[in-house]
Every structure is written in structure tokens, then in C-alpha cells.
Structure 1
């Protein structure tokens, strides 16, 4: 975003923050950042190519789409879509790295396959392996919610009311 000063010839650029909602994803470049909040059993997938200064963040609710057309809602479809959009913005798929956060056990309910949070983590790990994207850091599991801020450099700030702050 350009910010204009009182002088008509002087401008400076200010980084923008893009909010990623539940069942959503977004891509930024340069000095811009991505944020999301309310990650409980949902999984936050932070992808970045630091050399190209391109980053993407997905906030997936469930592990597998099973035919639902809302690709951002599911871990197995959000990741490939996010990677494609990042490539369109200049990222090299061979340089993309991943950081994960979320996948908490927020409710007592679970199936034979585990809780929704656990299944989200498994699904994201599977799709990242299939896409050839290495996971370099993660803050997953537990029983607490998280908020994230991702810089295009790949720095991921994780905040939790119960655990505090961490930088991945």
C-alpha cells in the first residue's frame, strides 16, 4: 500500500495485513503479512518461498473434501490450491517450505481415527508429502486455540492465550 505524505512528491510503502478467515486462504508478496485467528481443531498451513518473498496461509477446517467444492475448507484441497496460487505470484514450488499450527483437541468427541484436530494434521502432512513440500516447523496439538501471523519471509508468529507466544 502506498502512503502519501504532505509533500506531493514523497511516498512511502507500508506493508499490508491480509486477514485469512475460516475455510479460506490467501497469498501475499514483499513485506505484507497474513493473519488468522480462531485456530482450534482447524489447521493453519503456512507456506512460503523466502527467496521470492511469496507466502500463503490456509485455515482449513476439516481433513478431506470428499466432493465438496469449497476447496479452502479442507486440508487435502486447500494446500494444492494455495501452492498453485503461490506459483502464479512467483513462488518456485521446489523452494516452498511449510510450517503448521493448530490441530488442537478442543472437544471431547473423537472417532476411531482420532479427533478432528489430529485428523487435520495427518491430512496436511499427507498432502504436503505428496506435493513434495517439506515441513520445517510446527506447533500442533494440545488443547488450546491459536492465532497466527505469517510474514512473506516465512517467519510465523503463533499466539495462544494459554501458552503465550512462539516464533517458528
Structure 2
């Protein structure tokens, strides 16, 4: 059986990044993997220290609060972004100028849900702009789920757009979360398309 992955992603240790997770490492043989629907994953890497990480977060629907455009969910998203950036900075060179950031996800994979994905994309772009970061790469939006692989040591990312069956599974999980109105707990502690 032949793999459809580039050789760099077809070996070594794979760690799955679930909703609410944030993982950081400098291991050369490590790949982070996640599946996204309307959720967002950011991949942040210190180009000098060769340390990187991935998070995975879901923002609930927008609140009406004038002082906080996205309500409590944005605070969760901001926490997830700040946690990832701070972990990479503390394990890396400590210099914000050395960071490269890529974002993925935010798809509209089910018409029964509000366009949570679009709100997530707006949020993460605004967050990065407000913090003075420029995106090094992105694959966001669309009407499909995607699998994202990220090598924290090299900074390479690989995105596979998933077929409608897999997208339907991701959509069912997101609908169940939306119905429960549960957002995953905050944790305690080069793009290639085909």
C-alpha cells in the first residue's frame, strides 16, 4: 500500500491534537495531527530555535456583548492562542520576531450550524493582527473538513481536504457539541494542498 503523504510526514511519531489541546515540541521526528471542521488550529514555530506547536479550539456562537465582540468563546480562543505562543516563546528563543504562524480550519461543513467557521477565521485573524503577527500561511474556510499535519521542528504543514463522509462525521461531532453548548475545557498545563 502506498502512502499519499510526502516522505517527511510518513515516518516518526504522530501526536493527535484534540479540541482544547495545545502541544509544543522541538523533536525532529514528531508530527502533530488534527482533523478540523469549523474549529481552528494554529501552528506556531520559532524559526531560530526550531521549536513549534499546535493548538485546536472551537469558538461558540457570537455573544451580543458590546465590550467583547465574541463573548466568552473569544476569551477561550484568546487563551488557546496565548498559551501556544507563550509555550513556543518559553521553549524557543523568546523573541516574537522569530515566530511564524499558520492557521487552518474554519470550514462551513454543515448548513444546520451558524457559520461558526467564518467567526473563527475572523477571530484568529483579528487576534493575530492585534498582537502584531503576520500569517506565514493558511488554509481556512471552504465547505469541507480537513486533516492537518504539522512538523514543529521544520515548520512544514500538510493539509488534506477530506471527503464528504469524513466531513459528515466531523459535522455530527460539532453539532453534538453545539447542542450541549459545551466548549472543550481549556487545557491545564510551508503549506502543501492536494
Instruction: Give the TM-score category using the shorter length.
Output: 0.7 to 0.9
- 1:125 and 1:51 map into 2 onto residues whose CA distance is 24
Deviation per CA, 1:121-145: give whole Å up to 9, x if none.
1111111112222101111111111
**Coordinate RMSD, CA, aligned:** 2.5
| Contact 2:102-2:137 at 8 Å conserved across structures | yes
Residues 135 and 67 of structure 1: CA distance in aligned 2, closer, same or farther (over 3 Å): closer
Match of 1:17 in 2: 14
Q: Name the structure with the higher strand share.
A: 1
TM-score normalised per structure 1: 0.76
Helix, strand or coil for the counterpart of 2:133?
A: coil
Deviation per CA, 1:39-94: give whole Å up to 9, x if none.
000011111112210111111111656189xx7xx322211111111111124222
* Structure 2 unpaired stretches of 5+: 1-10, 61-69, 165-190
Using the TM superposition, give the Cα deviation of residue 150 of structure 1 relative to its aligned residue in structure 2, in angstroms: 0.9
Match of 2:30 in 1: 33
Using the TM superposition, give the Cα deviation of residue 35 of structure 1 relative to its aligned residue in structure 2, in angstroms: 2.2
Match of 2:159 in 1: 158
TM-score normalised per structure 2: 0.66
Q: Select 1:81's aligned residue among 56, 63, 83.
A: 83
Using the TM superposition, give the Cα deviation of residue 109 of structure 1 relative to its aligned residue in structure 2, in angstroms: 3.9
- 1:84 and 1:21 map into 2 onto residues whose CA distance is 19
The question of 1:167 aligning with 2:192 is answered yes
* Structure 1 unpaired stretches of 5+: 1-13
Q: Select 1:93's aligned residue among 93, 96, 103.
A: 96
Moved over 4 A (4+): none
- 1:26 and 1:65 map into 2 onto residues whose CA distance is 25
